[in-house]
Structure 1
Amino acid sequence: MSTSAVNTASVTVIGLGPMGHAMAGAYLDAGYEVTVWNRTASRADDLVTRGAVRAATVEEALAANEVVVLSLTDYAAMYSILGPAASALAGRVLVNLSSDTPEKAREGAAWAAEHGARHLTGGVQTPPSGIGSREFSTFYSGPRDLFDKYQDFLKVITDTDYRGEDPGLAALYYQLQMDLFWTTLTAWLHTLALANANGISVSEIKPYAAETLGGMSQFLDFYTPRIEAGQHSGDVERISMAVASLDHVVHTTRDSGVDPTLPAAVLETFRRGAAEGYEEDSLTRLFEVFGRGAAAK
């Protein structure tokens, strides 16, 4: 995008939590004319000082620019905020960076279309501190022509990763990452609690935790082709070994006076795999066991 294009470009940002605030700031830094709206108007004070325009109403915010970035808690918040102003949506491009499920994203895109707006779903892969950096990326899905037209605009926030026409795909990819992120972070916190109960500080355990987590990429590289080939032979490790190992973790946790709920829940999934006859197979067999459970529901 040329400098002149950047200087004349404009955007509306609705939702000024930490993420939306960072996005509005990134567009200001890039030379955009930025209109903002938030339920708590004072959250825009510093942005206004930097040159943003504070819209008095949602209708005014929508009318100000063709492109509207939404940074809200979920899609229910979108309906709550934009619903009463739906008559002002015609001709707008909604870049919806709110977190929600793939199905909610599909429903949101259809709702926008009913009101004459076009919708891009986004899933941002960074905390607010990373907004404005190309070191991070955001998943996008929705109409390809819309993504192509606004790709340079979107790259003001982060780098872009287009996943396809289905509005739900960006939300799906985002939730896949959140599944891994939250379970891993929770496991680390449990490890810290167990260490602390035994007189080992967070700082002392950190390098060992970092080494374990850093080595996970090797496991991903090794197991990915085997999983895709349906190969779950227990030549490297077995579910029976995992059951015994995690049983020791659970007992160590209980003996230390720490809540064993998390490792005990994981142990139950291991035991489920063993009960289905896979005790001598690799733990990767749980890939299929989990999948059948989801289908059964």
Structure 2
Amino acid sequence: MNDNTDTPVTVLGLGLMGRALAGAFLKAGHPTTVWNRTPSKADQLVAEGARLAPTVGDALRAGSLTVVCLTDYQAVHELLGAADSELGGTMVVNLTSGDSTQARDTARWAEQRGARYLDGAIMAIPSTIGTVEAVILHSGPRADFETHEATLGALGTVDYLGADPGLASLYDVAGLAMMWSVLNAWLQGTALVRTAGVDAATYAPFARRIAAAVAEWLPGYAEQIDNGSFPAEVSALETDVRAMAHLVEESEAVGVNAELPKLIKAMADRAIAAGHGGEQYPVLIEEFSKPTEG
């Protein structure tokens, strides 16, 4: 790593997250330049020692590292495109939310204009930025990440995923899939036990233990997926589907929405119809890997 706390940084975009990013750099001792379309959003940061750049071009010239956090990738292109003559030699770390195609396209777009480019995703809320709880994902050229890793570390726990600039966005949405799936499963269970007068707070510790136990299965299940082999070491899918049917029946019997368990069972039924009933649950990756019909 070649960075230290003397490294000057620039932050473009001062929404709630952008202000948190700039504040973390300041707290870590980095000379910090900021720019925002509405300059007044920089007032508190300026009071804390940041410099407000009058133009985007001036902001880009001020930092060895430019962190961009805007509303979307179109805004990134519009902002940096207006100053494309200034991009030569600039190190851009784009922490704007978007999809993997936008990330790869923007990487090419930036590199064509002479910039170095890393794409990133923030797996955190603004209040945790600057702490180990904030996980910031990065993808793009490894050498660029390693050069600036220490500076980026001011923002939280930084993870490098690989050279493909779309990986950070892919991990971001994959993480959302995990989050919503766990929460929805918990809500389904909570709705069920509430019909017997059990409140959510009473059920939550049990649900947490179940979620933690299931998480322990993931490395072994991942090995099966990567090997393309799904021996029923614990339970066969045809056994699991009977339990799914029980979940559907119980939900309907007590008047709880059964859409989620019906969806899960429908996918398992398709896998069994395709001849996978004697294999273990991860064989459903074949169903999840298919595009949605219709």
Determine if the TM-score, normalized by the shorter chain, exceeds 0.5.
yes
Among all aligned residue pairs of Structure 1 and Structure 2, give the percentage whose two residues are the same amino acid: 37
Show the counterpart of 2:84: 86
Deviation at 1:14, TM superposition (A): 1.6
Distance 2:83 2:117 in 1: 16
Show the counterpart of 1:117: 115
Distance 2:45 2:186 in 1: 36
Match 1:253 to one of 248, 251, 254: 251
Deviation at 1:235, TM superposition (A): 4.2
Show the counterpart of 2:221: 223
Show the counterpart of 1:141: 139
Alpha-carbon contact 1:134-1:155 (below 8 Å) kept: no
Once the two structures are superposed, residues 159-186 of structure 1 have per-residue CA deviations (whole angstroms, 9 ceiling, x without a partner) of 3322332222333333333332232223
Q: TM-score, normalised by structure 1?
A: 0.86
Distance 2:159 2:199 in 1: 39
Distance 2:122 2:29 in 1: 22
Show the counterpart of 2:280: 282
Match 1:179 to one of 165, 177, 180: 177
Show the counterpart of 1:24: 22
SS in 2 for 1:242: helix
Match 1:203 to one of 198, 201, 204: 201
Deviation at 1:27, TM superposition (A): 0.5
Structure with more contact order per residue of length (Cα contacts < 8 Å, sep ≥ 6): 2
| Greater alpha carbon shift after TM alignment, 22-31 vs 177-186 | 177-186
Letter in 2 for 1:101: D
User: Against the structure 1 CA distance between its residues 208 and 42, is the aligned structure 2 distance closer, same or farther, given a 3 Å change threshold?
Assistant: farther
Deviation at 1:193, TM superposition (A): 3.6
SS in 1 for 2:154: coil
Show the counterpart of 1:273: 271
Alpha-carbon contact 2:2-2:148 (below 8 Å) kept: no
**Aligned pairs, number:** 294
Letter in 1 for 2:287: V
SS in 2 for 1:156: helix
What residue ranges of structure 2 are gaps of 5+ in the alignment? none
Show the counterpart of 1:55: 53
Once the two structures are superposed, residues 118-165 of structure 1 have per-residue CA deviations (whole angstroms, 9 ceiling, x without a partner) of 101123333333322245543322223222221111111123322332
Distance 1:194 1:81 in 2: 50
RMSD in angstroms over aligned alpha carbons? 2.8
What residue ranges of structure 1 are gaps of 5+ in the alignment? none
Deviation at 1:270, TM superposition (A): 1.2
Letter in 2 for 1:203: A
Alpha-carbon contact 2:34-2:42 (below 8 Å) kept: yes
Distance 2:37 2:79 in 1: 9
